[in-house]
Amino acid sequence: MKNKFYYYLIAFLSTAFSLLLQWRDPAILSEFVEGKTYDLRLKLRESFHDHKPSNDIIIVTIDEQSIKDIGRWPWSRSVMAKVVDNISGDSPKAIGLDILFSEPENSVSDSLFADSLKKAGNVVIAAAFPASSRLSTKKQSSEPPPDFLWDAAFMQVKGMEGLDWKKWVVTGEKVIPPLKEFAAVATMGHVTTIPDLDGTLRWDILSVRYGDDYYPSFPLQIARIAAAIPAEKVVFYGGSSIGFGDKIIRTDLSSRVLVNYVGEEGSYHFVSASDVVNKKLPKGYFNGKIVLVGTSALGTFDQKISPLSGNMPGVEKNATVVQNILENSFIEKSPGVIEIATILSTGLILALVLPRLTASIGVTFGFVLILSYSAVACWLLIYRDIWISGVLPVGNMMLIMTVETISKLFAEEQQARQIKQMFSSYVSPKIVNELIENPELAKLGGHRREVTILFSDIIGFTTISEKLAPEDVVKLLNEYYKEMAEIIFHWDGTLDKFVGDEIMAVWSAPIEQPDHAERAVRCAINMSDKLDQLQQEWVKRGIDVIDCGIGINTGEALIGNIGLEGKKMDYTVIGNHVNIAARVEKLTREHKSRILVTDATMSKIPQGTIGHICFEQKGEVLVKGKNEPVAIIAISELESEA
């Protein structure tokens, strides 16, 4: 009962703590631990459900070959002007330059580059709003944003009523804008990213706050231009979503979305920037495409860690987000309702069901629940792009199951010790081991069962004890008892007790034995043979021999652990048939027979089962305490001549 109380207490505390963590959603758990299980499921998804990159997106990369052909990075603005001109000449849907142009080079190159941007008319350039964390604790720079930056902000901002959503929006601590002449002829989008605590970039930020304005992301601006959606048709709904033309892109409170990565690095179609500059690509190569330009060469410092890759170029991450926006295919994270319902229901089910099951069945049941939830979590992410948390629901189930299993193991160990302590002096080691392996066989409470009882009493013990010294009497008794007890154990009997010079043994308790009557009779014959051998040894040693009488009866008796709880308890059998066995043993003197059994015992032994034995009917006798006579039979071994 005490163990159960602690089990229920731990199950309650575990479930309550899991619910609290699920509600609070601490970053160290969701980003470090849960994030890794999410990454694993994404990798598993690659084997079952292939998310293909869009054929309409091409990445022009400043790779190692480009740097080798053109020169060290960063390139001159005149070279970048060629890149833009050669791409825009094929009439792409949109061009995204994932490069910061925040410092002037020279008036000629800068002017040339600005002319290329203006001529293209559909270029998005990057601005940086550095933020150290999602909920920034640093103060925003007191320097106001440049006037030209305002043109890139959301034209419509709407917030959820009753929700202080502004405190959740990622806020830039400062701004690194492009040059004014570039911003005037191109669209601007922020490239602020905040990886999770483990360094993995799972989320993209669609809106950043700076000052009193909110700025769309670089991929969002590219997707808007590619989809030919006017800027006023892209609406920022603080704390909930982004209106994208006729579509709604759902976000979390911080205006973040879960990037639905299509694979490892290199999944999209890459083109070397040197091939663009040197016009090695066929005419019309970029026609109707969305083109992103960025770096991928080592040392250009724009590598990201994604759930599927440890070295993904930032431009490829942005390409993925563009595709997600156009297809509205971001992964949706459960708000926690499924997880809370699972923690509550499984916690309650396990707490109530496990104590009623065996340890092995309980573990199986627990693992079925855990595997079922895990399978659902994997299926939702693989085929429905829905992320439900697994750590807390599974962890709670695992903890409850483990505590209950350990509790049962301790209880079983305690029960085994109790059984061993209780029965080791009563029965053979074989029976003890069987009881430990099957404790349900040891019914310690009172119950009735048909058993066979054997009483054995030393004849003439009082006379002999008066002739011998006390220590010799004890030595003689111990020698006799030792041999008789071993024989009882050999025949899988239960040594109930020694009472003075009397032995009481029982069969079919604590373990049921269908042939209990036969075992008792064979044991009596074995005891008689052994006594004959002991008598011969005693004669040789000059000790007066002792004899015994054995009485056996079969019938229903009350079995149980009887005595004073906590002080003295004995496993024994009581009842009328026990008394009859004791009375029959006393009749052995009168009938001059060492072994007497009742007809109730003999009726349980199939005829011919025991050979080389003489059975002699002694008729019916009135046993003290019984109104009806009892038929008794004397048993002795046949002489060798017979």
pLDDT at 364: 93
Going 214 to 218 to 220 to 221, the CA torsion angle's sign is: positive
Query: Per the structure block, which two tokens stand in for 514?
Result: 């269908």
Mean per-residue pLDDT, 237-263: 94
Cα→Cα distances 241→154, 194, 234, Å: 13, 19, 11
On the question of pLDDT at 450 being above 70, the answer is yes
195 upstream amide cis, omega within 30 of 0: no
Q: Are 165 and 238 contacting, i.e. CB atoms less than 8 angstroms apart? A: yes
pLDDT at 316: 97
pLDDT at 642: 44
Query: Per the structure block, which two tokens stand in for 81?
Result: 């002007």
pLDDT > 90 in the chain, percent? 62
Task: Please give the full DSSP string across 307-365, using - where no structure is assigned.
Answer: TTEEEEEHHHHHHHHHHHHHHT-PBEEP-SHHHHHHHHHHHHHHHHHGGGS-HHHHHHH
Q: Cβ–Cβ contacts within 10 Å for residue 177, how many? A: 23
Predicted confidence band of residue 426 (pLDDT cuts 50, 70, 90): low
Task: Give the whole-angstrom CA distance, residue 3 versus residue 9.
Answer: 10
Specify the range with the lowest mean pLDDT, choosing from 54-63, 151-160, 428-437, 604-613. Answer: 428-437
Task: Please give the full DSSP string across 495-538, using - where no structure is assigned.
Answer: EEEEETTEEEEEESSSS--TTHHHHHHHHHHHHHHHHHHHHHHH
Predicted confidence band of residue 624 (pLDDT cuts 50, 70, 90): low
Query: Where are the alpha helices (H) located in 63-170, listed in sequence order?
Result: 64-70, 77-88, 107-120
pLDDT (tens digit, 9 = 90+) per residue, 458-475?
987 777 777 888 888 888
pLDDT at 102: 93
Task: Give the whole-angstrom CA distance, residue 199 versus residue 316.
Answer: 17
Query: Per the structure block, which two tokens stand in for 542?
Result: 């000059």
Specify the range with the lowest mean pLDDT, choosing from 9-23, 423-437, 451-465, 492-506. Answer: 423-437
pLDDT at 517: 95
Q: Which domains does the chain have, with CATH numbers?
A: 2-21+335-416 (no CATH), 53-330 (no CATH), 424-637 (3.30.70.1230)
Predicted confidence band of residue 415 (pLDDT cuts 50, 70, 90): low
Specify the range with the lowest mean pLDDT, choosing from 60-64, 212-216, 463-467. Answer: 463-467
The better pLDDT of the pair 39, 166 is held by 39
